[in-house]
Amino acid sequence: MVKPIRVRAGDKTYEVFVGSQLLDQAGPLIGAKLQGRVCAVISDDNVARHFADTVIKSLTAAGCRPTLITVAPGEESKTMQRAEAICDRMIEAGLDRSSFVVAFGGGMIGDLAGFVAAIYHRGIPCVQVPTTLLAQVDSSIGGKTAVNTTAGKNLIGAWHEPALVISDVDTLATLSPREMRQGFAEIIKHAVIRDAEMFAKLQSFDPVELPALIRRNVEIKAAIVAADDRETTGERALLNFGHTVGHAIERAGEYHEFLHGEALSLGIVAACAISIRRARLAPDQRDAIVDLLRRFELPTTLPKNFPREKVFEALKFDKKFEGGKVRFVVTPRIGAAHLATDVTLDDIREAIEAL
């Protein structure tokens, strides 16, 4: 059995398992942590088609009574209406306060199923089983759950730390090259804000090293979450590097034109431009970051006809703008980051126009 990574978030502690053939062990791993036996496995149609039988079989063999609930893939499923429909299905299946949820899929499912677990009977345990690279290195850890509204992304949500995270790297074999690439945007982000050594290694990345790379990213996020689990000190806000502009680009593209990691890549480029002005990031370090994004075939410029003004307009929906004040993460050098207090909306506008 692989050695788990321990995550401490406030008064809660949970383990993250990263390895191969872990879906077959889902039942015993969950059974060792949770007492409940009736559960809902919430997934999307694509993931369920590939892997649901394995997880359901493992849970059943461990004495659980799982109900599989699937939704269509994509951000369109991450709504209050869908969350309510899932809750209705869980009620019909007999889930109660002693039951638990298995969030089985990528970041959208992790957010949606985690939110359902947070509100069902005022909160039942959630096991995160991420099946995309992006979810395994980032979104499955840290307890952020949410659904989208017409006004913006993740505006309705709850803090709900998982009881356990099971990351089976074998699930990544079913991802498209584009889906895999977007996961590397979060990995590069972690390297820029916290780990210069990992940044250097990524320049000659060997796919054989992927499990170890995923573990290292989990360790980075776990350390930041442990230092500031509810974003009260500013430490956890560092994880938002590139996300201010990235989320605005997603919204401007109506969540169709760019995947999250692709929009994040563009947001990182914009954040680097602002960092040169406000954090004295050396231009050659900015170039190294952009070159690494390109190495993983991530976008670094917007299409000429993309509505840049809509990107700027979308900023006002960003949760990180508190009381109308800009909270923007900058990097003074690769491997470090901090919250800047002097970034202006004009800085951001110029960075967006330059993309």
pLDDT tens-digit series, residues 81-93:
999 999 999 999 9
| Residue 147 belongs to domain with CATH number | 3.40.50.1970
Backbone angles phi, psi at 350, to 5 degrees: -65, -40
Whether 150 and 181 map to the same domain: the answer is no
Q: Which of 125, 140, 174 is the last residue of a domain?
A: 174
* Dihedral-angle region of residue 105 (phi above 0 means left; psi in -120 to 50 means alpha; beta otherwise): left
122 is a catalytic site residue: yes
pLDDT at position 321 is 65
Sequence-separated contacts (24+) of 72-75 with Cβ below 8 Å = 72/44, 72/45, 73/44, 73/45, 73/46, 73/47, 73/105, 73/108, 74/44, 74/108, 75/108, 75/148, 75/153, 75/255
150 vs 282, more confident: 282
Q: Which of 15, 179, 219, 231 is catalytic?
A: 231
CA dihedral 198, 298, 246, 329 (to 10 degrees): 30
Whether 293 and 181 map to the same domain: the answer is yes
- CB of 96 closer than 8 Å to CB of 125: no
pLDDT tens-digit series, residues 93-146:
999 999 999 999 999 999 999 999 999 999 999 999 999 999 999 999 999 999
Whether 210 and 240 map to the same domain: the answer is yes
- CB of 66 closer than 8 Å to CB of 40: yes
Q: Which of 78, 82, 144, 251 is catalytic?
A: 144
Whether 121 and 10 map to the same domain: the answer is yes
Q: Quickly list DSSP for 182-241.
A: HHHHHHHHHHHHH-HHHHHHHTT--GGGHHHHHHHHHHHHHHHHHH-TTS-SSSGGGGGT
Q: Which of 154, 174, 194 is the last residue of a domain?
A: 174
CA distance 163 to 124: 10
Whether 26 and 102 map to the same domain: the answer is yes
pLDDT at position 232 is 82
Beta bridge partners of 159: 144
**For residues 284-300, average pLDDT:** 98
Q: Average model confidence (pLDDT) for the chain?
A: 95
Instruction: Give the range of the structural domain holding residue 325, as residue numbers without chain letter.
Output: 177-354
286 is a catalytic site residue: no
What percent of the chain shows pLDDT beyond 90?
Answer: 89
Residue 233 identity (one-letter amino acid): T
Q: Regarding beta strands 65-71 and 144-149, do their DSSP bridges make them parallel or antiparallel, or are they unpaired?
A: unpaired
pLDDT tens-digit series, residues 15-32:
999 999 999 999 999 999
256 is a catalytic site residue: no
The region of weakest confidence among 39-43, 98-102, 210-214, 322-326 is 322-326
75 is a catalytic site residue: no
pLDDT tens-digit series, residues 184-210:
999 999 999 999 999 999 999 999 999
Whether 66 and 188 map to the same domain: the answer is no
Q: Which of 247, 251, 278, 327 is catalytic?
A: 247
Which class for 305: exposed (0-12), middle (13-18), buried (19 or more C-beta within 10 A)?
A: exposed
154 is a catalytic site residue: no
Asked if pLDDT for residue 316 goes beyond 80, the answer is: no
Whether 223 and 127 map to the same domain: the answer is no
| Residue 317 belongs to domain with CATH number | 1.20.1090.10
Count CB atoms within 10 A of the CB of residue 108. Answer: 23
pLDDT at position 248 is 93
Whether 134 and 221 map to the same domain: the answer is no
pLDDT at position 231 is 83
Q: Which of 78, 153, 161, 186 is catalytic?
A: 186
Whether 261 and 189 map to the same domain: the answer is yes
- CB of 77 closer than 8 Å to CB of 112: yes
144 is a catalytic site residue: yes
**pLDDT band for position 153 (50/70/90)?**
confident
pLDDT at position 322 is 61
89 is a catalytic site residue: no
pLDDT at position 194 is 97
Whether 89 and 132 map to the same domain: the answer is yes
Q: Which of 82, 243, 286, 327 is catalytic?
A: 243
Residue 232 identity (one-letter amino acid): T
**For residues 247-259, average pLDDT:** 92
121 is a catalytic site residue: no
**For residues 295-312, average pLDDT:** 95
The region of weakest confidence among 5-9, 101-105, 107-111, 149-153 is 149-153
Three-class SS state of 336: strand
Whether 211 and 283 map to the same domain: the answer is yes
**For residues 316-321, average pLDDT:** 68
49 is a catalytic site residue: no
pLDDT at position 309 is 93
Q: Which of 131, 154, 174 is the last residue of a domain?
A: 174
**For residues 35-54, average pLDDT:** 97
* Number of folded domains that form the chain: 2
316 is a catalytic site residue: no
**pLDDT band for position 320 (50/70/90)?**
low
Q: Which of 78, 181, 236, 251 is catalytic?
A: 236
Whether 77 and 42 map to the same domain: the answer is yes
Which of 10-14, 37-41, 230-234 is most confident? 37-41
